[in-house]
Amino acid sequence: MTGAEKHGPAATSTLDALWVLYDRVLRVSPDTVDDPGRDRFLLSKGHGPMAYYAVLAARGFLDPDVLTGFGAYDSPLGHHPDRTLVPGVEIGSGSLGHGLPLAVGGALGLRAQGLRDPAVWVLVGDAELDEGSNHEAIAFAGAYGLDRLHAVVIDNSSATYGSPGGIEARFAAAGWSTAAVDGRDHDALYDAYTRPHPGRPHLVVAHVEPKN
């Protein structure tokens, strides 16, 4: 892609995790973006969407020719993704701390509608967990047993405060199923994504190289 972008590591850190999700796990395609039974993917780490756009293009949601216009005035590919402009995008995102609460609400809403099959996935950066909105979302999801909810946290050592015992311990204390893997190992990511977690939401921490 072309154009100035100061959040390059926010994209490169997510590429492998996103690819495995879209290539091997998510039940959504360009033909089912409006199907109520589709899986939902929410990119909370929306301030670095370049890898997300590239994966969407590779999976047929976007024409690859639009990638070179990233960030241009007349391009649908903004520095934060826009759900009204990019097929397959579920939320406008990029403001830290919003994606996980939205995913919790989405999973609860699907349950309320009797839609028990669709899974909700959200990709979060470790620094976003510094935001207070996530504390309530983590606690609520565990207490309500939102077992169709899955959070992928990209840990590139960006968090300011961190969590005693690490990210896994924080979620596990709230009742989540947890796993931690090398965020560049596709088979390990797939195994963690598909691990059974009956009655509980599921967390996958994907460790990648520290942000420079």
* pLDDT, tens digit (0-9, with 9 covering 90-100), for 142-176: 999 999 999 999 998 887 776 778 999 999 999 99
pTM: 0.94
**Residue-wise pLDDT tens digits, 15-43:** 999 999 999 999 999 999 999 999 999 99
Helix (H, G, I), strand (E, B) or coil at 66: helix
Q: List the beta bridge partners of residue 154.
A: 125, 206
- Cα 155 from chain centre: 12
Count, residues in the chain: 212
Distance CA 50, CA 1 (A): 8
Distance CA 112, CA 64 (A): 37
Give the DSSP H/E element, type plus range, for residue 205.
strand 202-207
Distance CA 179, CA 172 (A): 10
